[in-house]
A and B are shown apart, each in its own frame.
Chain A
Amino acid sequence: MKKLNIDLIIIGGGPAGMAAATQANDNGLEKVLIIERDCELGGILQQCIHDGFGLISFKERLTGGQYAQRYINQVEAKGIQVKLNTMVLEITSDKKVYAVNEEDGLLEISAKAIILAMGCRERTRAQVFINGARPAGVFTAGAVQRYINMEGFLPGKKAVILGSGDIGLIMARRMTLEGIKVEGVYEIMKTEGGLTRNIEQCLNDYGIVLNLSTTITKIHGNKRVEGVTVSQVDASMKPIEGTDRYIECDMVVLSVGLIPENELSKNVGIELDSLTKGPIVDENMMTSIPGVFAAGNVVAVFDLVDYVSQTGVIAAKGAMKYINGTLDLTNTYISVNSGENVSVLIPQKIRKSNLDNKQDFFLRVREENEKMKLETEWSDKLVQAGKFSMVKPPEMIHITLGEKELAQFTDEDICFHMRKES
């Protein structure tokens, strides 16, 4: 078994991992290693050939591959060590990483700090309980994207898409351009799951119908998909009798959500958030194990790659402080709670002593609404943190609190509310 000593190991070479690595390098850390299971850096961005990436970071509309390449170039220019085709099997709480690849065999890498950047995976048909037969032709949207964009195959001729998440919307357009007939997008919720711009550009521009409050109740066909039954659903998302209709298709594409990929985190005993399904993190994106940080979609599913990269930067800065011994690990955490109309909220806790002159927060609302204000509440104080003309659950909100606001924090827990502007 080959043994290595590294300052900072980053698990996952996607946008979060690369942003973390370049940041750590910029801060002067020399022994940084990215471990990537695929044959190239970039993660899922490499199969995203559509544009719209990097609007915030680069003020440009890049494709996934272009966005990734900007970071790959930096990783290469800075001479950051990368191990490709390398699979991490286990991490330990004393920050040893066990990984395998063809050249090294089994590796035991001891690190001063670890950043988890494994990304997320797609939910499957069983997780949304779609009944019926189990033929070939049922794919997650990401798998269809890989087949079409990376491998040059068409997995069907006539598709029904379940779920209006962003990948499903992107694939509705992509499949149409490749000559696959998209018979419609069916969404069990009463509102769409993806970004508004994707509804416009991927469905409306191509005349693809989005059917809300409708779901697939049965898949037909024993060998290959022959069709689906769809039904409208009531307020409790139960199919309404008599609304079912049969749609002929040879392919079912699922875009029913993403789940942070946290098997390594779970096995080492990192505390997870039941809502985000990712590690509970603090102001520096540090998990419940000191010295183990997390960034990007492994923490929570962010809609924009720019946010993913930003969390990578935060985690890298935190890891630097941890390695240098300048991170306060003893003070009690203040808990950061979701209040009115707030669901996901990152970070979930902060140590006041570790706050810099600014602190980023990422959150999602529960319900769509217009003319809203975000309020931060603690003790008996209520401070406005932002105004929004429109908020929607699929669109994550990023706010930064500055020195002035942070200085007012006491040792009391903080709560975020999204309230109607009065």
Chain B
Amino acid sequence: MLNHFYSLINENNELKKYEINAERTDQNVIHLSGEVDVWQHVIDIGHIAGSIKGIKGVVNHITAQNIKPQKKDNASLISGAKQIGIIDTMDVVIVGAGVIGTGIARELAKYDLKIALIEKNSDISEGTTKANNGMIHSGYDSKTGTLKAEMNVKGNAMYSKWAEELNFPFNRTGSFVAGFSEEDDEYLEMYYERGKANGVPGIEIISAQKAREFEPNLHHTITKLLWTPSAGYVEPYEVTEALAENAVDNGVSIMLSTEVLNIITKENNVQSVVTNKGIIQTSWVINAAGLYADEIAEMVGDCFYTIHPRRGTLVLFDKSNKGIIERFIGTPPKNFTKGGGPMQTPEGNPIWGPSAIEVPDKENVDVDQQDLDFIINKSAHLVEGISRQSVITFFSGLRACTYTEDFIIEASEKVKGFIHVSGIQSPGLASAPAIAQRVENIFIELNPSTGKKENFNPIREKPIHFRECTFKEKDELIKKDPKYAHVICRCETITEAEIIRAIRGKIPARTLDAVKRRTRAGMGRCQGGFCGPRVVEIISRELGIDPTEVTLKGNTSNVLISHSRK
């Protein structure tokens, strides 16, 4: 196995010069160490190890010159937590309140379990989830036989029920892969065959003429398309909010700004979780920590994968472009090496991207010119009629990838009471319902006596959006609560009543970004230029804090520095 790895490295002209040390554990995990020149080589070597048949995972400790490894010392925080002592006792602690963690929390809330969902950031969706384009992939893209492919197709099908029960917007309008020439046909065929094998419903190859009947602004150079009608579109943070609200309704405790510092095991059994808020006793930990899943797994001594962040940038356009293109348009890989393409959010904003670039830093969500150029150039070859001038914002997120590039959803082989839900990269959002169900099955198989709650309520009521109401409904809302007449965000028509509701909500929105995700205030074309100061004022008033304490996205991201007059 290792010989094979070394021979693959030696066959590679760029990599053969390095002295790489590879070790194989009895679990068939490859551990890599050494030093290389650039970060991309760390990734390439990791991927070579990850491609070897029969390995369980790759732990990659190779460093690149000029890139300092990020290790932080939790010792003082841990001793602080010990001083606070035990704050609660739970049956299950889920680490990470992205769409995966909240999905699992809501699934397990069906049972008689005391569940805590803990999140180090100041809000749910603050990690990978918030920067996802919201596509619910149909499932032609993942290699047949992978867990990704299975979870994707299953999860996609389950979205209708999620949307119905949880009342979030979901457009199942389908997606394309565009072909421009005969050369592309073989790729379309390959996707078609793979889609068939993966069980993608309704997949077919259609002519551009037929596609233009329902998607008229496809680029005129497109000749043929792969069509998968099951693909859909959501706002990822709305899905997560809906899941989290429903989980809370069914008894889950959500603890924000709560960071896991350590996990205590005794004789290979999970005992407790040490957090900055104190110690939570629990016999089960579910690791849905995204980019930090490897660090959480390390805490129980069962880390068999390294997470490497793959950054994706998205470009969002004004919703005055609504309807120009409604469906995602991908391309065969030969045209553009990276993924992504144009699509439209349920709200009607065109969203283009994402790009894909490996970055060493788990907090690096910069937007670089090369990403922007790539995304805009690529999508401009796929859709006509959307001007670069109508871009309202752009942002990046990080995919939590392992070197085996597949999902890892399994109970620990080493430690009782620990479930890995790791490497959930694209199509993680599409797979989320299936992942939640798989974790449920794993948990119940290991805890067969778990009883079901009698009063589980799967329904989350649809929140009121003033902008979507008829004139008559608006009039009635204002009569009930005059704050509906006070429009704070004029680009998106978001009222003070909605902002107050978000701040006082089941998962209280305490930051500008949290209010934005709950209500859309600040998401429009002026990007909070007008409503920002007003939202700061409302947050400060509702939470009873000074305006200088209001943050954009949690700790140290304060909007204002000081009072100018005392």
Residues of chain A whose beta carbon lies under 8 Å from any beta carbon of chain B: 1, 37, 85, 87, 89, 98, 100-103, 105-106, 108, 121-122, 124-127, 129, 131-137, 139-140, 142-143, 146-148, 151-157, 178, 217-218, 222-224, 250, 263, 266
Contacts and interface: CB of A to CB of B under 8 A. Distances in A.
A396 to B, nearest CB: 23
A1 B369 contact: no
A184 B486 CA distance: 38
Contact of A224 (B363, B474, B556, B562): B556
Nearest to B369: A131
Contacts of B479: 105
B79 interface: no
Contacts of A143: 529-530, 532-533
Interface string B505-529: 0000000100000000000011101
Contacts of B389: 127
Interface of B: 320, 363, 365-369, 372, 389, 391-395, 471-472, 474-475, 478-479, 482-487, 490-491, 493, 512, 525-527, 529-530, 532-533, 537, 547-548, 551-565
A224 B555 CA distance: 10
Contacts of A134: 365, 367, 395
Contacts of A147: 533, 560
Contact of A100 (B392, B485, B537): B485
Given A106-B474, A147-B533, A153 B563 contact: yes
Contacts of A98: 471
Contact of A102 (B485, B554, B557): B485
Contacts of B559: 136-137, 155
B519 to A, nearest CB: 16
A133 B490 CA distance: 26
Given A142-B529, A223-B553, A223-B555, A106 B561 contact: no
Contacts of A131: 366-369, 372
Nearest to A147: B533
A135 B557 contact: yes
Given A105-B474, A147-B560, A155-B561, 5 more contacts: A100-B485, A121-B530, A124-B525, A131-B366, A155-B560
Contacts of A148: 564
Contacts of B558: 136, 224
A1 B471 contact: yes
Contacts of B561: 153-157, 250
Contacts of A125: 527
A385 to B, nearest CB: 32
B551 to A, nearest CB: 7
Given A124-B393, A126-B394, A37 B563 contact: no
Main secondary structure of the interface of B (DSSP, over half): mixed
Contacts of B372: 129, 131
A319 B478 CA distance: 32
A212 B393 CA distance: 25
A396 B527 CA distance: 28
A152 B558 CA distance: 16
A217 B486 CA distance: 38
B563 A105 contact: no
Contact of B564 (A37, A139, A140, A152): A152
Contacts of B526: 121-122, 124
A146 B393 CA distance: 23
B490 to A, nearest CB: 7
A339 B366 CA distance: 43
B557 A223 contact: yes
B486 A133 contact: no
A137 B490 CA distance: 22
B414 to A, nearest CB: 34
A178 B529 contact: no
A136 B553 contact: yes
Contact of A132 (B366, B491, B527): B366
Contacts of B369: 129, 131, 217
16 contacts: A1-B471, A1-B472, A85-B486, A100-B474, A101-B485, A126-B393, A134-B395, A136-B553, A136-B558, A139-B532, A143-B530, A147-B533, A153-B547, A154-B562, A223-B556, A266-B320
A133 to B, nearest CB: 5
A152 B563 contact: yes
Nearest to B479: A105
Contacts of A156: 561
Contacts of A132: 366-367
A87 B483 CA distance: 12
B560 A153 contact: yes
Contacts of A121: 526, 529-530
Going nearest first, the 4 A-B pairs with the smallest beta carbon separation are: A136-B552, A102-B482, A106-B475, A223-B557
B275 to A, nearest CB: 20
Contacts of A266: 320
A105 B471 contact: no
Nearest to B483: A102
Contacts of B527: 124-126
A401 to B, nearest CB: 34
Nearest to A131: B367
Contacts of B548: 153
A100 B562 contact: no
Contacts of A146: 533
A168 B566 CA distance: 26
B132 to A, nearest CB: 16
A152 B565 contact: yes
Given A1-B475, A106-B475, A37 B490 contact: yes
B366 A133 contact: yes
Contacts of B483: 102
A108 B366 CA distance: 46
B478 A106 contact: yes
B482 A126 contact: no
A217 B372 CA distance: 13
A37 B365 CA distance: 37
Contacts of B490: 37, 87
A67 B130 CA distance: 45
A37 B320 CA distance: 23
A223 B365 CA distance: 11
Nearest to A102: B482
A218 B491 CA distance: 27
A178 B561 CA distance: 13
Given A122-B529, A124-B392, A143-B532, A105 B475 contact: yes
Contacts of A133: 365-366
A191 B115 CA distance: 62
Contacts of A106: 471, 474-475, 478
Given A132-B367, A143-B533, A127 B557 contact: no
A268 to B, nearest CB: 14
B267 to A, nearest CB: 40
Nearest to A217: B369
A178 B367 contact: no
A224 B392 contact: no
B472, B487, B561 interface centre (most CB from chain A within 10 Å): B561
Contacts of A139: 529, 532
A147 B529 CA distance: 11
A132 B471 CA distance: 42
A148 B474 CA distance: 35
A1 B555 CA distance: 45
Contacts of A250: 561
Nearest to B566: A152
Contacts of B393: 124, 126
B551 A136 contact: yes
Nearest to B370: A131
Contacts of B555: 223
B478 A105 contact: yes
A89 B492 CA distance: 11
A156 B389 CA distance: 30
